[in-house]
Chain A
Amino acid sequence: MIDQHPMKRSRTKSPSLDEARLRQQAIGVRLRQMFDEVVNEPVPDEFLQILRRHDEDRPGEG
């Protein structure tokens, strides 16, 4: 069985707040990492091809 110490909890209120803040920071770092990972991937050729093709489809428009 796991011992429960409810009194311990009230005593450690501010350290747990710090802990929460640290965890938040860790999540923030990971989130940016996740985003930047994709930013740093090479762009698939498809993107530029589509843009080019789309342009050629309507050369004399206007």
Chain B
Amino acid sequence: MGSAGRPEEDPIRDEAFRRELVALIPHLRAFARTLSGDPTAADDLAQDAMMKAWDARASFEMGTNMKAWTFMILRNQFYSEKRRSWRQTQLDQEAAERTLVAVDNPEAPVALDELRLGLAMLPIEQREALILVGAGGFAYEEAAEICGCAVGTVKSRVSRARRALQGILESGSYDRDGSSAGEAMNAILASAERLSQVR
């Protein structure tokens, strides 16, 4: 499928491609992990993306940004899997609620666990924009290409994500007063929603 247009086999090019792809595996894993939050599912996702990239190597223009190209493959894969499994999203949410109540360390300024939970609560579009720009080291323009949207859209997603995350982390440390997990979660989500709309 799709290999009809492939020119001729080029072992030297393939080898160069492979070397660059292998060097990107740690970054693909990090992107998958921060995007999905589940280490096992993340590695499956990163492996799928790696194989997709390898299979599509003929369409990659050597010398251009392979990191951005593979990240785009990974995020498209992530979205098509998400679309297939809304149920899984529901389970993620429930797990996040349980863990949120279990977290009990108000002293820590920004605990990694809380940040993970906070990320999981962001809308996916905001989460991926923030990860690409805030952690992956991509410029807004590159992130826009990866996400297939306008640069301005990425910018506003990143800033909304930052504000919402801050709100989630703050209310997370105040709302552990014995109310039910669902109530605490609703309060957090409401405040995230509010904060993400304030300009």
Contact = CB atoms under 8 A, between A and B. Distances in A.
Size category, A interface = 20 to 34
Interface of chain A: mostly helix, strand, loop or mixed: helix
* Residue from the set B21, B33, B130 with the largest chain A CB neighbour count within 10 Å: B33
Interface residues of B, number: 37
Contacts of B41: none
Nearest to B6: A62
B30 A33 contact: no
Contacts of B112: 30, 33-34
A26 B136 contact: no
Chain B: interface secondary structure?
helix
Interface in A35-52: 35-41, 43-44, 46-48, 50-51
Interface of B: 3, 6, 8-9, 18, 21-22, 25-27, 29-31, 33-34, 43, 46-47, 50-51, 54, 109-110, 112, 115-116, 119, 130-131, 134-136, 162, 165-166, 169-170
